[in-house]
Amino acid sequence: MAARVLIVDDAAFMRMMLRDILTKNGYEIAGEAPNGAVGVEKYKETQPDLVTMDITMPEMDGITAVKEIKKLDPQARVIMCSAMGQQAMVIEAIQAGARDFIVKPFQPERVLEAVRKNLS
């Protein structure tokens, strides 16, 4: 059975890119969310195997959302998505419970490597 991934990013284009990379490689998209608050709700609804989470979003940022998801499910697997120059935020996200990070613009090989590594 295909692993189910929840994509959380405020940029529709970035969600589309990730959805494209993942579906072409046999992953199922459990859902998508435009911010952390919706992402946490979708996590509860869909119980995905993995979450890709943007760091900088309106309403609830990715770091806060990771903390909320980890409260719900300490075993949650979250990969952060960051733009260049967000190293401090990436470190904070890892401390909050994220397992990995990928940098925008997305390189399909790196996205897939992170996803495979975190699902194994």
Give which of 83, 31, 47 is closest to 62, Cα–Cα: 83
> Which CATH number belongs to the domain containing residue 26 in this structure?
3.40.50.2300
At residue 88 the predicted structure's pLDDT band, cuts being 50, 70 and 90, is confident
Per-residue pLDDT at 13:
96
pLDDT reading at 86 higher than 80: no
- Whether 45 is in a domain gets the answer yes
If we measure between CA atoms, which residue out of 68, 71, 53, 58 comes closest to residue 118?
A: 53
Q: Examine residue 116 and state whether it is found in any structural domain, yes or no.
A: no
Q: What is the pLDDT of residue 82?
A: 87
Span 6-60, pLDDT tens digits: 999 999 999 999 999 999 999 999 999 999 999 999 999 999 999 999 999 999 9
**Whether the Cβ atoms of residue 81 and residue 110 lie closer than 8 Å to each other:** no
Domain-located, residue 23: yes
On the question of pLDDT at 78 being above 80, the answer is yes
Percent of the chain whose predicted confidence (pLDDT) is above 90: 88
Q: How many domains does the chain have?
A: 1
Q: Are 55 and 10 in contact (CB under 8 A)?
A: no
Whole-number average pLDDT of the chain = 95
Q: What are phi and psi of 72, to 5 degrees?
A: -70, -40
Other C-beta atoms closer than 10 Å to the C-beta of 102 total: 18
80 contacts 62 by C-beta, under 8 angstroms: yes
- Structural domain range at position 26: 1-53
Comparing C-alpha atoms, which of 15, 16, 14, 66 is closest to residue 36? 66
pTM for the complete prediction? 0.95
Position 101 pLDDT exceeds 90: yes
- Give a yes or no: residue 113 inside a domain: no
